């Protein structure tokens, strides 16, 4: 998966960052630049499920015992066509490993109702594209951990957190592999 030369360059500890709107707290493994971002892009765009599993293992190990308590883990789902093309949903893989490490259930509480690629968009276009793109498909518990692979502007996390809070969650935390804001 990861060569012996690159392995030490990948972060293994969580770093807090300023949470997007509607999110109570946020943590990520590291910045989107450099080796971590390269591995995320490999997982998403090749697509390489092995790279995604490696990232999931690292994220879960880093999260275990280091996050505020949550009742369930929710992931940001990709559009159905992208999932079919890749053969997996990277956020769901990440969330499953994290949930196992935390001893919490994965709750597929969100569904994508409006497909749209966020990569390459401006901050304003990302916010507009994220608004209304996800719908709640089951009620969330009070404390939710939202998991995604990358946080760039926070527009996706904000839209998903808004949906979860409107559906009954009282607090939404965020965990990602890489963030542009770290």
pLDDT at res. 181: 77
pLDDT at res. 36: 93
| Statement: residue 162 has pLDDT above 80 | yes
| Statement: residue 118 has pLDDT above 70 | no
Find the mean pLDDT for residues 163-182.
95
Which of 42-56, 87-101, 121-135, 167-181 is predicted least confidently? Answer: 121-135
- Please tell me the distance from the alpha carbon of residue 116 to that of residue 127, in angstroms, as a whole number: 12
Query: 78 falls in which pLDDT band (50, 70, 90)?
Result: confident
Q: Classify residue 180 by its DSSP letter.
A: T
pLDDT at res. 9: 79
pLDDT at res. 158: 95
pLDDT at res. 128: 56
Which of helix, strand or coil describes residue 149? strand
Which of 1-5, 104-108, 139-143, 153-157 is predicted least confidently? Answer: 1-5
Tokens matching residue 126: 């990302």
Distances (CA, A) of 169 to 74, 82, 112, 151, 159: 11, 28, 19, 21, 14
- Average pLDDT across the chain, whole number: 89
Q: Which stretches within the chain are classed as H helix?
A: 34-45, 49-63, 80-86, 90-102, 123-130, 155-166
**Does residue 47 have a cis bond before it (omega within 30 degrees)?**
yes
pLDDT at res. 61: 97
| Statement: residue 37 has pLDDT above 90 | yes
Find the mean pLDDT for residues 10-29.
96
Spatial neighbors of 154 by CB under 8 A, at least 6 apart, are: 19, 20, 21, 23, 181
pLDDT at res. 60: 98
Do residues 75 and 94 lie in contact, with contact meaning Cβ atoms separated by under 8 Å?
Answer: yes
pLDDT at res. 83: 83
According to DSSP, the β-strands at 25-31 and 72-75 are: unpaired
- Please tell me the distance from the alpha carbon of residue 13 to that of residue 40, in angstroms, as a whole number: 16
Q: Classify residue 124 by its DSSP letter.
A: H
Distances (CA, A) of 58 to 14, 43, 78: 10, 14, 21
pLDDT at res. 87: 87
Return the CATH architecture of domain 7-179: 3-Layer(aba) Sandwich (3.40)
Nearest of 7, 90, 75 to residue 44 by alpha carbon: 90
pLDDT at res. 172: 98
């Amino acid at each position: 998966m990861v060569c012996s030369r690159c392995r030490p360059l990948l972060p293994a500890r969580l770093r807090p960052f300023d949470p997007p709107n509607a999110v109570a707290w946020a943590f990520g493994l590291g910045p989107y630049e450099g080796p971590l971002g390269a591995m995320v892009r490999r997982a998403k765009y090749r697509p390489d499920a092995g790279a995604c599993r490696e990232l999931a293992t690292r994220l879960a190990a880093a999260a275990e015992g280091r996050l505020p308590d949550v009742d369930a883990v929710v992931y940001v789902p990709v559009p159905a066509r992208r999932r079919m093309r890749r053969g997996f949903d990277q956020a769901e893989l990440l969330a499953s490993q994290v949930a196992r490490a935390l001893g919490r259930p994965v709750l597929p509480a969100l569904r994508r109702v409006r497909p749209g690629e966020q990569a390459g968009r401006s901050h304003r276009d990302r916010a507009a594209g994220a608004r209304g793109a996800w719908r709640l498909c089951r009620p969330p518990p009070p404390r939710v951990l939202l998991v995604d692979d990358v946080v760039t502007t926070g527009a996706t996390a904000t839209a998903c957190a808004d949906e979860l809070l409107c559906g009954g969650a009282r607090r939404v935390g965020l965990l990602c592999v890489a963030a542009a804001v770290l």
